[in-house]
Amino acid sequence: MSEELKKKNNVADTSEVLYLGIDLGTSETTVCASNGISARRKSVVGWPKDLISQKLLGKDMLFGEEALKHKLALNLFRPLEKGVIKDTDGDLEAAKELVKYIISLAKPKKYTKVYAVIGAPARASFTNHQAIIDAAREVVDAVMIVSEPFSVGYGEGKISNSLVIDIGAGTTDICSLKGTMPEENDQITIVKAGDYIDDILVESVKKKIDGAQITKDMARKWKEEYSFVMEPEKPAVTQITIEGKPVRIDITKNIEEACMSIVPDIVISCRNIIASFDPEFQEELKQNIILAGGGSCIRNLDKKIAKELRSLGNIRITKVQDPFIAGAKGALALAKDLTDDYWRAL
């Protein structure tokens, strides 16, 4: 495109502008950039507890897996809970540093302008949107907040007469798309998602094995390896400690019960949204259900939800190809499609 045509169409010189799509998640934060860089990190920030730990680690701040590796020497913050930034000074500071860090991985200093679209939970309040904007404002020139399920649908090219089920760590967001930005009544946020499964699993195994020493991080790893509904791929056998002694146990049933704990609310919410959709397009909607987010990796979850919705007629659920990056890719696609005038207005 010539420089004259770019000006006529209000399109910025792409060599000078970096577009970013960011999925700011409870468990993980992902960035996809127009320069081809993509990165994903655990949504964890840590500061050394004292001078000894600072000297040992050689850094003033650690992020992601590196922070988890040294968590005993750090004041550790997971700034997002149930899809929103916690309202404490430490968590707000951690959120800002996390956003700045994930953006830095895309090498923004090489560009004169940086524009970002950030995915947020479907029903996040204005206050939480503002907190996210404030976190990004220090390192980008303009930022736009969209609902996470909308960014997924945009990236999949299905923003009309479709239904997105986005199961993250903190929330499950369910949203019908009509070819426009979703309105409040188009979206439902459920606070039963990946973290909820972890909590159920911890309590279930502790109840099964008296004296079992289990952490939420352990449960999360079990879930990531074994999660299923209906039929397991393999028995879930793992090792725990009881009073310091290693013991191998079978937690297959515990895994299934924990994963099933989020299904009823998802099914009820899907039924409500489908029933409230324009009846002329309901059949098309039921053929365009997209399952996304880390929770979509639960074995047979798409089949289970479809089975529970079968009384509504023929249901077709498609899983996104890469659930850990789909939201950020969709946000990037939207960022690149917006005109330069729109970004300047923001």
In a domain, 303, yes or no: no
Per-residue pLDDT band at 126 (split at 50, 70, 90): low
Q: How many domains does the chain have?
A: 3
pLDDT tens by residue, 269-319 = 999 999 999 999 999 999 999 999 999 999 999 999 999 999 999 999 999
Q: Does 139 lie in the same domain as 84?
A: yes
Asked if residue 253 and residue 132 are part of one domain, the reply reads: no
Domain co-membership, 131 together with 12: yes
Residues 51, 141, single domain; the answer is no
Of 218, 243, 260, which residue is a domain's last? 260
**Domain containing 341: what range?**
3-43+80-154+325-345
Q: pTM for this one? A: 0.86
Q: Are residues 33 and 55 in the same domain?
A: no
Mean pLDDT, to the nearest integer, of 212-216? 86
Residues 107 and 146 in one domain: yes
Q: What is the pLDDT of residues 40-71, one digit of tens each?
A: 999 999 999 999 999 999 999 999 999 999 99
Mean pLDDT of 24-39: 93
- The CATH number of residue 119's host domain is 3.30.420.40
In the predicted model, is pLDDT for residue 3 greater than 70?
Answer: no
Q: Does one domain contain both 103 and 50?
A: no
Residue 234 dihedral angles phi and psi, to the nearest 5°: -160, 160
Per-residue confidence (pLDDT) for residue 5, from 0 to 100: 39
Angstrom distance (rounded) from CA 238 to CA 249? 6
In this predicted structure, what is the pLDDT of residue 237?
93
| Whether residues 21 and 150 fall in one domain | yes
What DSSP letter does each residue of 134-190 carry, written as one string? HHHHTT-SEEEEEEHHHHHHHHTT--EEEEEEEE-SS-EEEEEEESSPPPGGGEEEE
Residue that has been written with the tokens 């956003």 in this structure: 99
Residues 65-85 as b or e (16 or more Cβ within 10 Å = b): ebbbebeebbebbbbbbbbbb
**What is the dihedral angle through the alpha carbons of 188, 189, 194, 197, rounded to the nearest 10 degrees?**
-80
Residues 27 and 49 in one domain: no
Q: What pLDDT sits at residue 122?
A: 66
